[in-house]
Structure 1
Amino acid sequence: MANARSQAGFTYFGVLFLVTLAGLALASFATVASFERQRERESELLFVGHQFREAIRLYYESSPGGAKRYPPNLQALLEDPRTPRARRHLRRIYDDPVTGKAEWGVMQAPGGGVMGVHSLSTQGPLKTAGFDAADEAFMGSRSYADWKFAHVPTKEDERSTNRSSGVRN
């Protein structure tokens, strides 16, 4: 009888050990899954940000006349009213993958209009290095709000604009 009792205690501790081990494995899996989900959101944010940057660039570059203009708001990227036949530079206003909302921080251009967007999330990114050349300013960022997707005209763009409008450099 004493032997059966000690075996029951041993079995109890064995089951307790297995339950603890299973709990630790689940916690570890949840942590890995959370990091993987954040990496997916980062990747999606980079894709969506590039879509906005490219749409703003196309709007800017297709300005009629000599003066280049930024869109007055994000809605203008959906249907550019400046030409007789409306152009769509962006299919839709994407949701911010990090916040899950269709709200973006807007970067105002010096002469007016929207020159870029950024996430409103203050969460720290996992990715802090290894960006493409267009995104190298993101290196070392402390939050997703620091990832600014803007179209900044190059000096060559400005020279060609000035030449077409008759201004000399």
Structure 2
Amino acid sequence: MEAAMRRGERSGALGRSGGYGLVAVLVLVALTSMALSVAAQSWADAARRDKEQQLLRIGLLYVQALERYRRSSPGTDKRLPQELDELLTDQRFVGTVRHLRRLYPDPVGATGQWGLVRGDDGRIRGVYSLSEDQPLIAGAVRRPGLRLEPARRYADWKFVVDTDV
């Protein structure tokens, strides 16, 4: 027995069960990794869903601000702004008139910049995301003050003032 111990061999119960502990640890690590990857995917989906909802909310804020700007135009010529900055401080009045508190970035776009929908006169009629990602909402979006047709990408959703009113 002494000779076997010197050569590095194990004897008894320890020698027979030593490999099972390593296998058990490896299985535990693999199961933990799988559980964490499922949780990470779930968190990523929830974050993307939240950004999509922010896009809809902010897009509606821009539509409402553009409509307020147009409606409050002095006189009978109801115009839309040339630039988004005009929604922050409307210079057409003696006092300060704000239609938006701040210019909100595009929550789903990589740069935060908005695409602008301009009318024939060059004035801003609406905004849209520059993101090419596919929306999670597959069908049409119908909310108070907001109607969007089904889209294959976020850039297809145009948040536009109805100028026919």
Q: TM-score, normalised by structure 2?
A: 0.85
Q: Is the CA contact (8 Å cut-off) linking 2:105 and 2:112 kept in structure 1?
A: yes
Give 2:66's aligned residue.
56
User: SS of the counterpart of 2:68?
Assistant: helix
Alignment coverage as a number of residue pairs: 154
Q: Is the CA contact (8 Å cut-off) linking 1:52 and 1:149 kept in structure 2?
A: yes
User: SS of the counterpart of 2:159?
Assistant: strand
CA displacement at 1:119 relative to structure 2 = 1.0
**Equivalent residue letter for 1:70:** L
User: SS of the counterpart of 1:65?
Assistant: coil
Q: Note the aligned Cα RMSD (angstroms).
A: 1.8
Q: Which whole-Å CA distance do the structure 2 matches of 1:48 and 1:147 have between them?
A: 12
Q: Which whole-Å CA distance do the structure 2 matches of 1:118 and 1:52 have between them?
A: 10
Give 2:53's aligned residue.
43
CA displacement at 1:86 relative to structure 2 = 3.1
Q: Is the CA contact (8 Å cut-off) linking 1:128 and 1:138 kept in structure 2?
A: no
Q: Which whole-Å CA distance do the structure 2 matches of 1:50 and 1:79 have between them?
A: 19
Give 1:129's aligned residue.
139
Work out whether 1:74 is the aligned partner of 2:84.
yes
CA displacement at 1:112 relative to structure 2 = 2.3
**Equivalent residue letter for 1:58:** R
Deviates more, 1:61-70 or 1:51-60: 61-70
Q: Which whole-Å CA distance do the structure 2 matches of 1:33 and 1:130 have between them?
A: 25
Gaps of 5+ in 2: 1-10
Query: Which of these residues, 96, 121, 134, is aligned with residue 111 of structure 1?
Result: 121
Give 1:167's aligned residue.
none
Query: Which of these residues, 65, 77, 83, is aligned with residue 93 of structure 2?
Result: 83
CA displacement at 1:65 relative to structure 2 = 1.5
**Equivalent residue letter for 1:125:** P
CA displacement at 1:2 relative to structure 2 = 6.0
Give 1:24's aligned residue.
34
Q: Is the CA contact (8 Å cut-off) linking 1:70 and 1:115 kept in structure 2?
A: yes
Give a deviation string over 1:38-95, Cα, whole Å, max 9, x none: 0111111111111111000011111111122111110111111112223110111111
Structure 1 pair 148/130, CA: closer, same or farther in 2 (3 Å)? closer
Name the structure with the higher helix share.
1
Gaps of 5+ in 1: 158-169
CA displacement at 1:111 relative to structure 2 = 2.5
